[in-house]
Amino acid sequence: MWQLPAEVLSLLQAPSNGVQGRPRLLPHRTQPDWHAYREELESYRHLTDDYDGQGAIAPPAEVIDTALSVAREFASSNIVPPTCTVAGPNGSIDLSWEFNNGVSVSIEATECDRVDVILMGSGNPRHWNVQQSVTA
């Protein structure tokens, strides 16, 4: 289970009817829903080193598995799909949400069962390292 900081979670949860004052997710998305994002994440398994012609490292299987774990849990937890996902040049995978008030959230899978969560645009950037917790 991925335990996000409350201030990040409140941004990413789908709004309830009548909720006002929350920033809106920018409308552009590379994929329409979580299912399509999971397919995009799976497609990263076909990347090889230097996939961008500039020396990028292909994401290892455990990083892809971590990103997929986040996507599966978020899809079943009322979290809105991200604005985009991208394979990073360092072998990471980034899921990003951009809001109309200049705030953004980035969840970057960097290794097995660990993500970096970054909240930007609400004062000083905030950063958390989050490990997947196993519940019995």
What's the domain range around 74? 35-131
Task: Give the integer Cα–Cα distance in Å for 27 and 132.
Answer: 29
**pLDDT value for 20:** 53
**pLDDT value for 68:** 97
The answer to whether residue 1 is domain-embedded is: no
**pLDDT value for 21:** 54
**pLDDT value for 136:** 41
The answer to whether residue 41 is domain-embedded is: yes
The answer to whether residue 12 is domain-embedded is: no
The answer to whether residue 11 is domain-embedded is: no
Number of domains in the chain: 1
The answer to whether residue 3 is domain-embedded is: no
**pLDDT value for 22:** 59
CB 64 within 8 A of CB 44: yes
The answer to whether residue 64 is domain-embedded is: yes
**pLDDT value for 14:** 78
The answer to whether residue 106 is domain-embedded is: yes
**pLDDT value for 1:** 82
Q: In what order do the strands lie in the sheet with 114-120?
A: 84-87, 93-98, 104-111, 114-120, 126-131
The answer to whether residue 26 is domain-embedded is: no
User: Locate tokens 């409140």: which residue?
Assistant: 10
Mean pLDDT by 10 residues, the chain (136 residues): 89 68 67 90 98 97 97 92 94 94 93 94 85 66
